[in-house]
Amino acid sequence: MTDDAATPGGSDPSEPGTGVAPDAPPRHRLRRVLLTVGVVVLTLFVAGGVATYLAYKNLDNNINSLNVNNELGSDRPTKASPTASTATPPLNILLMGSDTRAGQGAGFGNASLLAGARSDTTMLVHLPADRKSALVVSIPRDSVVQIPECKASDGSTYPAHEGMFNEAFAIGGPGCTIKTVESLTHIYIDHFMVVDFRGFQSMVDALGGIQVCLNTAIDDPKSHLNLPAGISTVHGEEALAYVRARYIGDGSDISRIGRQQAFLSSVVNKVRSAGTLLNPVKLYRFLDAATKSLTTDPDLAHLSALRQLAGEVRNIPPSKVTFMTTPWMVDPTDPNRVVWQTDKTDQIWQAIRDDAPYPPPSPAPTTMDGKPLTTAPDAIAVRVLNGSGAPNAATRAANRLRAQGYQIVGVGNAEAQDFLSTVVRYSPGSEDAARTVAASIPGSSRVLVDGLGTVVEVVVGRDWPGVVPVVVKKSSSDNPGVRTASQSICKVS
C-alpha cells in the first residue's frame, strides 16, 4: 500500500490584452485612414524595369518632401550599420496616416495645415539587413504613452507629458511622432512616409477595387457601408468606409487595426498580381495616385531612392510579411484607452534593435503517431494514480507533470498496485490530450476507457520513466493579433 491521498490542483490564469478592446470616443471627421500605401509603393518601382522607370520619372514631382531633422535633435537611438554578412543595414520606416495635406511643397510645420490634423494609423516597418522578411507593427492611436518634449506647429515648445499616442502628430506632425516612437522603443527611425486619405480612394480605384471579407453582413447608415457576409470587392468611398467603420466586429480601435492589416494583405497581393504589374496603364494610375498622397523624408522623396529600396525588398514573399499590433491591455484608469504590456512590447523592440526574427522561430513540434502534438500541457487536466506499490510514487509523478505545465486535478491510488508499466487512460474526445501526455511519459501506453470526461488519468507503473518536455504545434491563436500577408483575408483577429 501507499500513502498517496487525493488532492486537488491546477488553475486557469488569464492573460490581459485578449479581451475586447475599449471603444473609442465618436469621431465626426474622415480621418480613419488605412496606412497601406507606403508599404505597397516600396514594391512597385521595379515593375517594368528601366524603361518603365524612365516613363514614370515625372512622378518625382508628386512626392512631397519634409525635413524633420532639426525637430529630432541629436539625442537619438543608435543607427544600425551593415553587418559583416550583409551589404545593407536594417531599415526602420515609420508609416503615418494624415487627414490633411494642402498642395505640393506644403510642410507639416505650418500651423494652419496642422490644425485639427491627426495620425490615427501608425505602423513601424522593420526591414532586416538580409531583406528576406518584413515586420509591420501597428501602434494603437489610443495608447496612453509618454510623449517627449516636442516643437509645436506654431514654433513653440510643447512640454513632455502623458497622453494618447496620436496627440504627437497633432502637436508637431511627423517630427514629434518619430521622436515619440524613438523615445518609447529606442529604435532609430531611418525614414518616414505620411499618406493622406484624399488619395486613398483613387488608389483603390486604380487597382480596380480590393477584396474584403466579413464574417457577418453589415448595413451601417453612419458609414454608408452595406456589404454581405463573405468576400466582396470594394472601391473608393466604400473601401474608405470599410477601413474606418466603427460597427464591424467589436467596434474598437484594435478591431479596426486587424481589419486594416487584412486589407493591406489584400492590397499587397493585388498589386503583386500580373494584372497590375503587367498593365502599364493601371500601374501608372496607381503610382500617380499614391505619390500624390505621399510625404517622405528628403532621402526617400525621389523615385530613384524608392526604386532602389523596392529592388531590395521585391523578393520578400507574402508569407514573410508579418503584421502585428503592439501587445496591449485596457488602461486601468480609463476603459476607453489602452496601455502597452511592456514585458511583451519590450521583446518586440529588442528583436528589432537586434535585427532578430519576431515572433521568434518556434522549435519543431513533438510528434506522436507520426503527427505533431496539438494540445498544450496547460490545457490538460490530469489525475495521477499510484499503481506501482512504491510509496508516494503518484505524488512525485504529479510534481514532475505539474512542472511541465499540466493541470493536476487529483492524486491517489489506483485500483491495484501491480502495474508493471505506466498507463495513460482517456475517454472519447480526449485523444489529442492523451497523445500529449503519453509523449511526455516515454514508454507509456494509452488505454481508451469510459467515464473520465475531459480528464486524462496517469497510472504510475513500476517502470515509471519520468517526464520529458514536449513541444506543441503552434496555431494562429498562439500569437493573437499577428498575421502574415499570405493569410486568408477572412481571418481577422
DSSP letters, 362-415, are PPPPPEETTEE--S-GGG-EEEEEE-S-STTHHHHHHHHHHHTT-EEEEEEE-S
What's the pLDDT at 75?
A: 93
- As a whole number of angstroms, the distance between CA 103 and CA 292 comes to 9
State the Cα–Cα distance between residues 276 and 387, nearest whole angstrom: 68
Distance CA 185, CA 77 (A): 9
Please count the CA atoms within 13 angstroms of the CA of 188 that sit on its side-chain side. 17
Task: Give the per-residue pLDDT at 246.
Answer: 61
Amino acid at 426: Y
Q: CA nearest 455: which of 427, 484, 417?
A: 427
Q: Could you tell me the pTM of the whole model?
A: 0.70
Could you tell me where the DSSP H helices lie in 186-302? 200-206, 236-244, 253-272, 274-277, 280-292
Residue in this structure with the C-alpha cell 541629436, named with its chain if needed = 74
Q: What is the mean pLDDT of the chain?
A: 80
What distance lies between CA 38 and its chain's CA centroid? 17
Q: What pLDDT was estimated at residue 48?
A: 38
List Cβ neighbours of 209 (8 Å cut-off, separation of 6 or more): 233, 234, 235, 239
C-alpha cell at 204: 483603390
Among 3.40.630.190, 4.10.93.10, 3.65.10.10, 3.40.50.300, what is the CATH number of 37-362+478-484? 3.40.630.190
Q: State pLDDT tens for residues 290-311.
A: 788 888 999 988 877 877 887 7
CB < 8 Å & 24+ apart, contacts of 361-369: 362/471, 362/474, 363/471, 364/471, 365/471, 365/472, 365/473, 365/474, 366/439, 366/470, 366/471, 366/472, 367/439, 368/435, 368/436, 368/438, 368/439, 369/435
Residue 294: strand pairing partners: 195
Which pLDDT tens digit goes with each residue over 228-242?
A: 999 999 998 888 788
Q: pLDDT tens digits, residue range 79-109?
A: 998 877 888 999 999 998 775 544 333 333 3
Pick the most confident of 232-236, 253-257, 478-482. Answer: 232-236
Same topology, domains 37-362+478-484 and 367-460? Answer is no
Confidence of residue 17 (pLDDT cuts 50, 70, 90): very low
Q: What is the per-residue pLDDT for 274?
A: 54
| Ranges of each domain in the chain | 37-362+478-484, 367-460
DSSP states of 25-41: PP--SS------HHHHH
Calpha distance 207→83 (Å, rounded): 38
Assigned fold of 367-460: Alpha-Beta Plaits (3.30.70)
Cell of 358: 519576431
More confident residue, 262 or 414: 414
pLDDT of residue 278: 63
pLDDT of residue 257 exceeding 50: yes
